[in-house]
Structure 1
Amino acid sequence: MPQLIERPESVQINAYDGTGTLTSDLPSRTPWGQRQKDQSITRFLGPAVAADLRDWQHPEVGWGVILPDDDSVPIEARARGEDAHPAIQKLLAHRSGAPVLRWREEFGQDYLRRYYVDGRFHDLSAAAIKPGVQDGHIPRYLLIVAGPQAIPWSVQYALNMSTFVGRVEPSEMLSAYVDALIDDWAGFECHPEWPVVWSVNHGRPDITNLMQRAIADILWSKFAADPEFKGERIENQLATRENLCAALIERSPGLVITTSHGTTGPTSDAQRLKRQLGLPVDANYTSLNLADLANWKPAGAIWYAHACCSAGSDSTTRYEGLLPEDSSISRMLANVASTAKAMIAPLALSLIGAVAPLRAFVGHVEPTFDWTLRDPANGQGVTHALCTALYDNLYQPDRRTPIGYALRGIFSEAGAYYGAVRNAIEGINNNVPGMRDHALYNRLVAMDRQTTVIIGDPTVSLPRPT
């Protein structure tokens, strides 16, 4: 019989709407007992190819773009991406031979269409891809060129399980990013060996205390033990927005790690919410102001922000129905979804669109729960895949590591947790005690991992430390 897990009386998320830390009781009855309908998207990474998966230029690995399909455009033009944003057309010309894939609403998250200049097309499985750039294949590295209103977040979540995928939004700011990407940030300088780790801690039992211990402290211990790294640690009451901005300007770090609540209010003012959605909330409960960063040049850094909505929001939260409807968490998530709708968070957009742009922003579209940061049976932290991604993987000694590849373990882990959900549902149907708690816990963890997203191109990698 599976071990019974510790079931907390309530859970917290890393969101701040101006009223306090948001909590919710766990439901007395979870919504999936005695039914076998599979609502999850369990897609493990495909088998390894002969090529090094870090080599996105290898034809058996490959890179390509995903655009919304448009039946008014001739097939030959769609095959070449001639209807794409001019900056993306420039990138396609630079990365000659890259496939242009299309998403259609009727495909949901299951298929992508690939057109060819001779008038043919293939509808290709997004779950069981044949990796590469050859006809009938989907590249391992994919760049979605659309906001989540045009190509939903759910497509990116699904592709996270089988490919290395990032997203940019076509806008007037995209040209600077593509130019930097093509030139590999030549003329810009950041320092990968000078990471900045900034973590807010409001003390127990606030979730920020757990995030600091489970993420920021572990990552900092890795950097501090490496003599090549001379980064800066900003924590506890010193984790203010002023100190973060000062460190960014002074050090020009190659990697920025922040753990905090994310701004999710006020939901009564749609424009204000959209301007500050997901911004890190500092030790004084003050949101980071984009104007504060005006004097910082990201210059090719990578930023990981562990905060609710740090990467954006969706028009419907994936946690709908999992928690009591009258809880503060459920009300906040529903209000953010109905007010902000599907969007990329302003911090990510601002930094990717800067004159000296960020390489990539990695964040969450949904919240993290305190319950899902540790194993409820033994109390151990379950952030190993994340911490491994941002140090061991990102700083591999033999070659530069694309951010998409570095994060692969997080999405593989999501697949494992989705598998555990299925096992727990079988247990529910067989009346095994405690299986409802197992199903809920594993579902929340899986969704937390899968809704981690890259804003920017998944092929970007930090420069070699000088």
Structure 2
Amino acid sequence: MSNEESLPSTFSINAWTGAEVPATPVASTWRQWAVARHQQIKVKPLAADEPVDLRDWWDERVGWGLVLRDNDALSESNRATGTDVPEELRPLLEKRRGSPILRYRPEAGGESLRRYYTDRPAQSVMLSGSQRGTAPGRLPRYLLIYGSPTEVPWDFQYLLNGPCYTGRLDLTGEALSNYIAALINNWCDAKVKSDQPLIWTVDKGPNDITFLMRYLIAEPVRAALDKDPQVKGKVRHLAGPDATVDKLAAALKDPDRPPAMIVSTSHGMTGPIDNPKVMGRDLGLLVDANSQLVRPESMLDGWNPNGAIWYSHACCSAGSNNKTAYLGLVPPGSPVEQILLAVAGLGAHMAPFPRALLGAKQPLRAFIGHIEPTFDWTIRNPESKQPLTSTVVQALYNRMYRTRPEPVGLAFSDMFALVGQLFQQWSQAKDGALDADAAIRQRNREVALRTQLTALDREACVILGDPTVALPPI
């Protein structure tokens, strides 16, 4: 049967004249009509733009910006152009021309950053709810804080970690120049290899928190890397008694296997608490299996970080704050409270280890570490024994070892997003702690303790270095 014979003999339409049902046979010219275009206006599809790739920080819809302490001694025009930016940092602004300078003001209460212009009035850019990107009034997704934590506090970096992918540089002079030169050139001369990761894991037995850090952080990262067909068999894991200063130094200095990814889990040095000068000098240094300190000078004697990224899970490995969130959690006068108070007594500082590595002649790309201690409850639920470290493992492997690796700020964004989720759980548990039923009150108090403790732990993890850096592809 032909197509023509299969056609209906008439067309009907759903119009009504009041007298008849309009119907008509198909015209003999139907073939020409069928293949001719009869649409009168070319209509643009009503579809939103495809989501931008958040790895593309240079896309103006994503954006990168520099955060500085505001300077009321400067005109608004000079604040917009950054005349107070150190000379060593200026090449980065030239390279990333069009990127905004945003200013931290303590009186903003953590709600906004101030942006100044040369051609329009200044405005406050809200941290929550702002459109994203580099256009006027927008908040870039990637932010680099420049300055010490006394100028732009750690607490404000904690806030920025929620809506933005945030890093910090607290370097001056030659150290700053070294880092900026490497960043601008994307570590073009780096010899580090992403398929040669190094994991250094202190383990002092089941009664020590290093045991949990090994089996809940280091071992899952090692297992994930070892399943990767491009990395399998190349992971160096110095664990337990092998996690020594000498073996770490030897692994870092091996010219045939320069690691691009370094993961370490250990205690961080916080003593002697009765000698603040020495305590500050050694703050956060990794403590090896023999209780010896990993000093930056011993590592840098024969090793160039040259583009590596280091994740260090150790107390105060990134620095110290001028206060602690944990007063009232532990008994007054207890050894833990004494440590917490002694560290806070040092003030807000960046730790010496990442400072040395980020400012080296051939510097580290980024260092991720903590400002306060990690509690065992924050990496494993004390009731269910469920591990609570999946976002760390995913950041270090699933997101940083993609075919096109994610920048470090984006890779750790899920971990920082947990802070808001945990505080939301805490808020509900806090309200439940007022319930008339004693058992419900007790249960909610326990949930409030665990969720707030874990939120504070994740909050106090910071990225040092520019948040746009990523591992070199394999």
Q: Give the TM interval when normalised to the shorter protein.
A: 0.7 to 0.9
- What amino acid does structure 1 have at the position aligned with 2:237? R
**TM, length-normalised to structure 1:** 0.87
- What amino acid does structure 2 have at the position aligned with 1:322? L
Report the counterpart of residue 453 of structure 1 in structure 2: 462
- Deviation sequence 1:189-227 (CA, Å, 0-9, x none): 111110000000000110000110000011011111222
Alignment partners' CA distance in 2, 1:188 and 1:160: 28
Report the counterpart of residue 141 of structure 1 in structure 2: 142
Larger deviation: 375-384 or 192-201?
A: 375-384
Deviation of 1:140 after TM superposition, in Å, equals 0.3
What residue ranges of structure 2 are gaps of 5+ in the alignment? 1-48
SS in 2 for 1:434: helix
Report the counterpart of residue 245 of structure 1 in structure 2: 249
SS in 1 for 2:253: helix
Alignment partners' CA distance in 2, 1:263 and 1:133: 41
Report the counterpart of residue 453 of structure 2 in structure 1: 444
Alignment partners' CA distance in 1, 2:229 and 2:94: 41
Deviation of 1:311 after TM superposition, in Å, equals 0.3
2:342 to 328, 335, 343: 335
Report the counterpart of residue 120 of structure 1 in structure 2: 121
Alignment partners' CA distance in 1, 2:170 and 2:451: 32
Alignment of 1:225-374 (within 5 A): 225-229=227-231, 230-250=234-254, 251-293=257-299, 294-338=301-345, 340-374=346-380
Give the superposed CA RMSD: 1.3
- What amino acid does structure 1 have at the position aligned with 2:129? A
Alignment partners' CA distance in 2, 1:110 and 1:318: 21
Misfit runs of 4+, over 6 Å? none
1:416 to 398, 421, 424: 421
Alignment of 1:150-189 (within 5 A): 150-172=151-173, 173-189=175-191
Q: Aligned pair count?
A: 416
Contact (CA 8 Å) 1:127, 1:158: kept in 2 or not? no
Deviation of 1:266 after TM superposition, in Å, equals 1.3
Contact (CA 8 Å) 1:76, 1:119: kept in 2 or not? no
Report the counterpart of residue 27 of structure 2 in structure 1: none
**TM, length-normalised to structure 2:** 0.86
Larger deviation: 227-236 or 351-360?
A: 227-236
Deviation of 1:335 after TM superposition, in Å, equals 0.9
Alignment partners' CA distance in 2, 1:224 and 1:400: 17
- Deviation sequence 1:95-145 (CA, Å, 0-9, x none): 010000001121232221000012511112223332110111110000000
Deviation of 1:378 after TM superposition, in Å, equals 2.0
Alignment partners' CA distance in 2, 1:320 and 1:240: 33
Alignment of 1:197-216 (within 5 A): 197-216=199-218
Deviation of 1:417 after TM superposition, in Å, equals 0.9
Report the counterpart of residue 20 of structure 2 in structure 1: none
Alignment of 1:62-141 (within 5 A): 62-141=63-142
Deviation of 1:49 after TM superposition, in Å, equals 8.2
- What amino acid does structure 1 have at the position aligned with 2:222? W
Which structure has the larger Rg over C-alpha atoms?
A: 2
Which structure has more relative contact order (CA 8 Å, sep 6+)? It is 1
Contact (CA 8 Å) 2:171, 2:355: kept in 1 or not? no
Report the counterpart of residue 219 of structure 1 in structure 2: 221
Report the counterpart of residue 402 of structure 1 in structure 2: 407
Alignment partners' CA distance in 2, 1:178 and 1:82: 18
Larger deviation: 434-443 or 351-360?
A: 434-443
- What amino acid does structure 2 have at the position aligned with 1:400? P
- What amino acid does structure 2 have at the position aligned with 1:117? T
- What amino acid does structure 2 have at the position aligned with 1:252? P
Matched, 1:383 2:384: no
SS in 2 for 1:361: strand
Larger deviation: 314-323 or 364-373?
A: 314-323
Deviation of 1:88 after TM superposition, in Å, equals 2.0
Pair 1:353–1:170, CA change in 2 (3 A): closer
* Aligned-residue identity in percent: 41
SS in 2 for 1:422: helix
What residue ranges of structure 1 are gaps of 5+ in the alignment? 1-47
- What amino acid does structure 2 have at the position aligned with 1:356? Q
Report the counterpart of residue 432 of structure 2 in structure 1: 427
Report the counterpart of residue 40 of structure 1 in structure 2: none
Deviation of 1:320 after TM superposition, in Å, equals 2.4
